[in-house]
Amino acid sequence: MRRLLMAGNWKMHLDLRGAIQLAAGLKRELADVADRDVVLFPPYPFLADVCDAAETSTLEVGAQNLHPEPQGAFTGEVSAAMLASVGCRWVIVGHSERRDLFAENDAFLNHKLRAALAAGLRPILCVGEHLAERDAGSAQAVVSAQMRACLDGFGAEDMERITLAYEPVWAIGTGRTATPQQANEMHAMIRALLAELFGAPVANATRILYGGSVKPGNAKALVAEADIDGALVGGASLKVEDFVQIVRA
């Protein structure tokens, strides 16, 4: 059985004090949780402080983004090695907001994945369709194409450190959530494609998270599905009580 992973994506929220307080509260309230992994994704300026706040706990910390180049004249960007140097162990790659708002394409995300792995980070690769694509019946084709392009050139050994997250774009921050059955149907397709690309052992071992308006009220039903191995949580990860309930689902 795959170990659950609960990830909190704080996006562009909080200030330094709020970030430290949130991390400290989660550290306190989740101190007895040992049967699942919990990763916090604060904004860049707070990474080192949140790493310090999470020290001596089972909480891990990741970044919401990275640049694929190791260094250079890329004003405003942050490299994988920089993230690792402040204590990050994880990084999100290809979140729908990065794809839509910053025009990141699959080829660019492929380079990001390579950079993350080279620096020893564990990337969470996000895939998902827009509402028009789902309504047109092309949701699975869209997600399949994203996976094939983003994972092009990778091998089974690379997949040991890559987690996937299915995030239907129409369910992010809208209050609309895919039903557990809808989500699991896509997760099952993703796992089948992983088996095709990398073999059944990789498909069975890879964790696939669900992201899209995950809340305390629906988390338990989602993670109860056979192919859903945890959650990538947005707004609900900003409140200690809410995220604790989701982690314990």
Active site residues: 95, 167
Is 16 strand, coil or helix? helix
Q: Cα–Cα distance between 140 and 136 in angstroms, integer? A: 11
- 3-state DSSP assignment of residue 37: strand
Confirm if 125 and 164 have CB atoms less than 8 A apart: yes
- Residues near 41 by beta carbon (within 8 Å), at least 6 away in sequence: 7, 8, 9, 10, 61, 62, 63, 64, 90, 92
Q: β-strand 90-93 against 122-127: which pairing, if any?
A: parallel
Q: What residues contact residue 136 under an 8 Å CB cut-off, 6+ apart? A: none
Decide if 177 contacts 212 (C-beta within 8 A): yes
Nearest Cα residue to 98 out of 66, 120, 74: 66
